[in-house]
Structure 1
């Protein structure tokens, strides 16, 4: 069982690269080992059973071996957001950078914030696969848009056949991914339940359902403000003294906001309560952009509430049957 934040007494900073991992246990001394399971296991073995928190940065997957070894040794870990660590270092006015320096900064970052840092947990294999499939689909769709734009360019006539062939290939891959995603969701009881609830929300279609399941797996466990913020549709205040600026929707997980915009457009054109709410906002002289953002926020909060209620009901039934 992993130690609670209040039990942590020492911090281990780990700077991860493709081939190596540099460790710093809070002192000036650092050690660099190969980014391989056996080497990491030997280096981390002395910390097993101690009240140590390991802190590393997300590196696009190079940290996976390290996190697996930490999990195996039951050493609690935090995978930090690189942007937050960079801002933390910048707040001290420091510019020097190499692997040992970064490891020391990660150790210091963990020491200052240990009580509030969420502990890393191994992802469910099905959820992990869904995230990879959805991310790959987003990449292919972006490629398709690029090729479609190239095909329209006046100087592309000489290579139009090649572009069309590539577009056809992209379409095949996208359709195959769609089928694999649908199968994966259908085979998982939890994902299927969540998907069913998402489909019941006006505006949410077959593309947005797996996107929400993959990008916001916390859906159903958040309050309405938290889920709106994660989706990038929360109006954040920007006031200072007597100045009251227009609130803007910034931040969030970048894949969600564009998809929610399309969902809001679809919902507003239908016959549903969201369309009524949109027309009421326009009648109240709200700009269309503001009204659509409000509908986007309603869509994600309704989705969050329906998933929460469905999961809670399923758990209650499971407890009764048990």
Structure 2
């Protein structure tokens, strides 16, 4: 299998057909036509394409490669960056980056990318738009508040701001209802199981389904916790370095925030989460550290109910020794 490195940008992508220093590279337009032109230059039996996850810029390329049956890997840019450091790379151009990615594929043998379903892609789009609209809504409300303290608030400006706020509120409400409806129609069983966990509501349940592809991307809860950036870090070396750091924070910061809020709410209604929190606090752990531990417990509970296909029973104690 020959690894092909692809460096993706908004308008174009550079392809390195070999990691060798003087190997040829080609540049294609990042459009449907350009991608099909690139696909005609490779074979699904001989080539393995590797690229960094660059958000929406790489989405069409990954989608069309997967549809064409081309083996594809989509890697965390941090992994490639650290690999470049290990290789003592000092020059950065699109061509060099593409060759470096090809070398990364050859040396690291990255995992295959599993194409997201249309439902997951649609849910993610709605979630992204909702998040951006909420930011605009907060900014507009803050603008209104800052104008109201002035000696004189122009009536026309006030009316314009209030209309914008009302419009944004309606758009957010409609999209949230649409997202909830789509999640329940496409993943009804999983939504019912997840929302049975005390502390997990419809919004968080839908976000977990999006992050896990319907709980198909991960084999266990520990992998999911690491992916979401909630795993504690630890450093030990010799006698001088030995300390526990913060959580790894590698995943979706918005979903982490949702889990943190859900963990706080679960203390009022989830027996196991409350017991976990009280135990850690009694052992002298700071409040935020205990809340993060509760968020991890929520993830384990969510993973358990979905994989075992059983509704959550608050306070249930397993009979297994």
TM over 0.5: yes
Query: In the alignment, is the contact (CA less than 8 A) between 1:18 and 1:35 conserved in 2?
Result: yes
SS at structure 1 position matched to 2:269:
coil
How far 1:53 sits from its partner (Å)? 0.8
Which residue does the alignment assign to 1:257? Answer: 256
Cα 1:136–1:86 shift into 2, 3 Å: same
Q: Select the residue among 75, 91, 94 that pairs with 1:96.
A: 91
Which residue does the alignment assign to 1:319? Answer: none
Unaligned runs of 5+ in 1: 1-7, 312-322
Which residue does the alignment assign to 2:234? Answer: 237
Q: Select the residue among 145, 163, 166 that pairs with 1:152.
A: 145
SS at structure 2 position matched to 1:164:
helix
Which residue does the alignment assign to 2:169? Answer: 171
1:271-307, CA deviations, whole angstroms, 9 ceiling, x for partnerless residues?
A: 6332233234333433222221221111111111111
Cα 1:274–1:15 shift into 2, 3 Å: closer
Cα 1:281–1:170 shift into 2, 3 Å: same
How far 1:183 sits from its partner (Å)? 1.6
How far 1:50 sits from its partner (Å)? 3.4
Unaligned runs of 5+ in 2: 311-321
Q: Within 2, Cα distance between the matches of 1:90 and 1:247? A: 23
Q: Within 2, Cα distance between the matches of 1:261 and 1:69? A: 36
Which residue does the alignment assign to 2:128? Answer: 135
Which residue does the alignment assign to 1:275? Answer: 274
SS at structure 1 position matched to 2:6:
strand
Give the length in aligned residue pairs.
299
- Alignment of 1:213 with 2:179, yes or no, is no
Describe how 1:1-322 pairs up with structure 2 within 5 A. 8=1, 10-26=2-18, 27=20, 28-114=23-109, 117-153=110-146, 157=150, 158=153, 159-188=157-186, 191-217=187-213, 219=215, 221-242=218-239, 243-251=241-249, 252-270=251-269, 272-310=271-309
Task: Quote the RMSD (CA, aligned, Å).
Answer: 2.5
Q: Within 1, Cα distance between the matches of 2:93 and 2:279? A: 57
Query: In the alignment, is the contact (CA less than 8 A) between 1:134 and 1:214 conserved in 2?
Result: no
Q: Within 1, Cα distance between the matches of 2:102 and 2:14? A: 11
1:164-210, CA deviations, whole angstroms, 9 ceiling, x for partnerless residues?
A: 3322222101110111112212221xx11111111111111232122
Query: In the alignment, is the contact (CA less than 8 A) between 1:144 and 1:170 conserved in 2?
Result: yes
SS at structure 1 position matched to 2:309:
helix
TM norm structure 1? 0.82
Query: In the alignment, is the contact (CA less than 8 A) between 1:236 and 1:250 conserved in 2?
Result: yes
Query: In the alignment, is the contact (CA less than 8 A) between 2:28 and 2:38 conserved in 1?
Result: yes
SS at structure 1 position matched to 2:222:
helix
TM norm structure 2? 0.83
Q: Within 2, Cα distance between the matches of 1:227 and 1:280? A: 24
